[in-house]
Amino acid sequence: MKNSKNKIFVVSFDLDTKLMEAAGYDKSKISGTYQRDLKAFLIELGFFKHIQGSLYRTEYYSNQENLKASIIEAVREECPEFVLYLKSMELYEFTKISDITPQMKNALTKVTRKKPIKKKGIKSKVIIEKKKETKKSKGL
């Protein structure tokens, strides 16, 4: 429950995937580690919202130090191998200034998609270059 002392925190992490590959992890195992294993672990710790990539958001906590200690203790007990491949892990206090999604969608309702611009292919570039050469040879 939210009160004036509670805050939202975000944790981000990055794993050394090259080191994981060298240790015998294949790409599907690495992907599974990110998408299933760590996600389930962080949800268990109270990081209920997977924002993007390796970024997870908490519910409300009153104390950053308690949260940090909880993460460290849980890693030590449940998945100590995690630290073998850890490049970085950061904890941020999350301040949501304003969710402007509804205003953006409302403001952009009259916007229409433009037709894609046709890109010139290699053939047309060759023709253009030949025309330039012809003009140079004619002295134009």
pLDDT in tens, 94-117: 877 777 888 888 877 666 666 666
pLDDT the model gives residue 20: 94
Mean pLDDT of 128-136: 64
Domains of the chain, by residue range, sit at: 14-98
DSSP string, the chain: ---TT-EEEEEEEEE-HHHHHHTT--HHHHHHIIIIIHHHHHHHTT--EEEETTEEEEEEES-HHHHHHHHHHHHHHH-GGGGGGEEEEEEEEE------HHHHHHHTTT--PPPPPPPP-HHHHHHHHHHHHHHHHTT-
pLDDT in tens, 6-40: 888 888 889 999 999 999 999 999 988 888 888 88
